[in-house]
Structure 1
Amino acid sequence: MLTAPRRLLTLAVTALLLVATFGNPATAEPTPGANEDGGQNLTVRQALDKATAAYNDAKGRLDKSVADQASIGDQMATTQTRLTELQASAGTIAATAYRGRRVSLLTVMVGAENPDDMLHNMVTVEYMLQQEDKQLREVVATQKQLEQQRKDIDAAVANQQAQLKIMEANKKAAEDALRKAGGGADVSSGVPTGGKVTTNPVARNSDGSYPSEGCTINDPTTSGCISPRMLNAYNEARKAGFTHYTSCHRNGGGGDHPLGKACDFSANASTFVNARATGADKTYGDNLAAWAIANAKNLGVKYVIWYKRIWQPSSGWKSYGGDGTPAGDHYNHVHISMQ
């Protein structure tokens, strides 16, 4: 039988082991969002990811098409000016020929005083005919160019209308997914604002969409992998001064973490604190979320989750249905998902 001193010693050691094993509940390092990516919310999260990604690509195609339309419009103005000039010149040529003032081969032969003059005049006639033919051919080519530019404008407008329909459909799908997860309500006050653009645009496909990427680069925060755009966003956040503890790749579950397309940026400098961020930590999270939103288009951000709210390019800030924990409700970290 254990003596009283030994019993006390055993209890003390057991308590120390429990603390070492489970940590202080107020300062533990729970995996952020461990429940949000799996279980009954997995299908909802997948629907949200798919809809938001489709919206972003459609928006990229729309922006590219609008820029193309503006460029074609400028080209059309130049083409129309040139065509007007050519048509005026061609009209003068036709009028001259109609009035019989064009130098003809018969005029050259009759009016020449000697063979040398006749040869010179014949060369002159040939040159004039070539120049007139060249000018008339340029009129026809310029007319065709202008017509093609009009068709390109029509195609751009049709493309824009198609992309707008895709954007609207995926905006609705994303909002439906949020509502199914217990969120999606409009949020109008207290949201992070004022972020500054500090990044350059990432590479796009020729149509304006984002290239497909996989989990191909070593994750600097874990032993896993992340995508090139996620690594770029992580590095750009560091450059912008957001250097608190961060964790990106996570095995298992759903969502973007296993795909290497999401990072959790702790509000605390050194760990994930198992409590709501307050004071300086809350301010840090607000500033980081605002920065991610301001640079979303350049980086390829799909959505940002912070303090039980989610920001998407299609809808702005909405309420977010978490799991009731500081990590699951994103009270202790900013989640950034990438395209």
Structure 2
Amino acid sequence: MRRRALMFVVASLVLIGAWASPAGAAPGDPTAPPDEGAGNLTLGDKLDAANTQWLEAQATLDESKKRQADLVKRMDEMRRELEPVRASVNVIAAAAYRTGGKVRLTAALVNTDSPEQFMDRVLLVNEITLHNDRVIGRLTKLETELTQAKKAVDEEVAKQQAQADIQAKKKADAEAALAKMRGRADGYVSVNSPLANPAPRNADGSWPKENCIIDDPTTSGCITPRMLHAAQEARKAGFTRFYSCFRPSGPYEHPKGRACDFAAASDGFGGVASGNDKTYGTNLAAFFVKNASSLGVLYVIWFRQVWTPAAGWHAYSGGNGDPSSDHTNHVHLSVI
């Protein structure tokens, strides 16, 4: 009985170990997901919330600016249309003043030589009246629409100011969350980074809420559609080295399917990147930053630096001194 119990315990431990470790992740396996460390929670809920709300405010701000631009364009069109209409109304008013208005029109109808001439003048007077009414009505409608458009522009400007205030607050929150990261960093930016195709947004420009519903191509887990899109865009841009996404536990957005780790070396996660491998990682980090708005980037970590949309590049000291937690052997990407 004791022998059977011991075998059961050993078998259970083996099963638990197999469940906790990624498939094929043998000790020393360079393709095993990097241990990014869970001690630094600054890059957890606080930074996540600050940057998520900053991105939502940015989406609202961008959409408001588009509406404002459309309104301003429409106002210009209405002003151009108003000029000849106002001129026509001025002519009508001047003519009415000179001729005495309805009194002269009545006289024109009375001073006729025949019933046929009377009917012709009735039709003419009626047509003139209808034309004048249409012109005056058009002027009134355009002036009303222009007033409404001006009010709508003022509302958009107020909305933009509100979103700018939110962004300023969230930027301060992100800066506070990153305060322990030892200040600003030079960052990784390249104007030569290729452009990515934008991920789908809602009709109002906001980011749709997404769940972990797509099969992760790198593990047996799942990722969100937006995370898959970002990974695919990176590969289209030539960043085709090994990467890994979903993990059932750990820091950052991996358990939510909103994060991937992209190895700098061609054979997987290894030691500190140098030479061509470091250049590859730097170019990949720059690609994600340049296309942050298109891909819904929440933050990027690479080589002891972290980039967020609210605060830019900062030094990152959240690691444990090893290549994985210092992110010197892989680029970490999280999306909203």
Q: Structure 2: give runs of 5+ residues left out of the alignment.
A: 1-23
Asked if structure 2 preserves the Cα contact closer than 8 Å seen for 1:45 and 1:177, the reply is: no
Q: Provide the rounded CA distance (Å) in 1 between the counterparts of 2:49 and 2:182.
A: 16
2:265 to 254, 265, 268: 268
| Corresponding residue of 1:121 | 121
How far 1:158 moved relative to its partner? 0.4
1:284 to 280, 283, 296: 280
Q: How many residues align?
A: 311
How far 1:101 moved relative to its partner? 6.3
Q: Structure 1: give runs of 5+ residues left out of the alignment.
A: 1-19
Asked if structure 1 preserves the Cα contact closer than 8 Å seen for 2:241 and 2:265, the reply is: yes
Paired letter, 2:92: I
Describe the SS at the equivalent of 1:258: helix
Asked if structure 1 preserves the Cα contact closer than 8 Å seen for 2:105 and 2:125, the reply is: yes
| Corresponding residue of 2:141 | 141
Q: Deviations over 1:53-84 (max 9, x none)?
A: 11111112112222222221121112122223
1:218 to 215, 218, 224: 215
| Corresponding residue of 1:131 | 131
User: Normalising to structure 2: TM-score of the pair?
Assistant: 0.86
Q: Provide the rounded CA distance (Å) in 1 between the counterparts of 2:198 and 2:233.
A: 12
Q: Provide the rounded CA distance (Å) in 2 between the counterparts of 1:312 and 1:207.
A: 23
Note the aligned Cα RMSD (angstroms). Answer: 2.1
Describe the SS at the equivalent of 1:311: strand
How far 1:42 moved relative to its partner? 3.3
How far 1:90 moved relative to its partner? 0.8
| Superposition map of 1:154-233 within 5 A | 154-179=154-179, 182-188=180-186, 191-233=188-230
Q: Deviations over 1:92-114 (max 9, x none)?
A: 10111111165755334333221
| Superposition map of 1:1-339 within 5 A | 23-24=27-28, 28-29=30-31, 31-36=33-38, 40-42=39-41, 44-100=43-99, 104-179=104-179, 182-188=180-186, 191-273=188-270, 275-321=271-317, 322-339=319-336
Question: Percent identity between the aligned chains?
Answer: 40
Poorly superposed stretches of 4+, deviation over 6 Å = none
User: Normalising to structure 1: TM-score of the pair?
Assistant: 0.86
Paired letter, 1:287: N
Q: Provide the rounded CA distance (Å) in 2 between the counterparts of 1:337 and 1:207.
A: 23
Q: Provide the rounded CA distance (Å) in 1 between the counterparts of 2:289 and 2:66.
A: 23
Asked if structure 1 preserves the Cα contact closer than 8 Å seen for 2:212 and 2:224, the reply is: yes
Asked if structure 1 preserves the Cα contact closer than 8 Å seen for 2:281 and 2:302, the reply is: yes
How far 1:21 moved relative to its partner? 9.5
Q: Deviations over 1:191-243 (max 9, x none)?
A: 34344242222222333221111111111111111111111111111111111
Asked if structure 2 preserves the Cα contact closer than 8 Å seen for 1:257 and 1:263, the reply is: yes
Q: Provide the rounded CA distance (Å) in 2 between the counterparts of 1:229 and 1:88.
A: 55
103-112 vs 59-68, greater mean Cα deviation: 103-112
- The change in CA–CA distance for 1:299 and 1:44 in structure 2 (over 3 A counts) is closer
Q: Provide the rounded CA distance (Å) in 1 between the counterparts of 2:226 and 2:26.
A: 35
199-208 vs 159-168, greater mean Cα deviation: 199-208
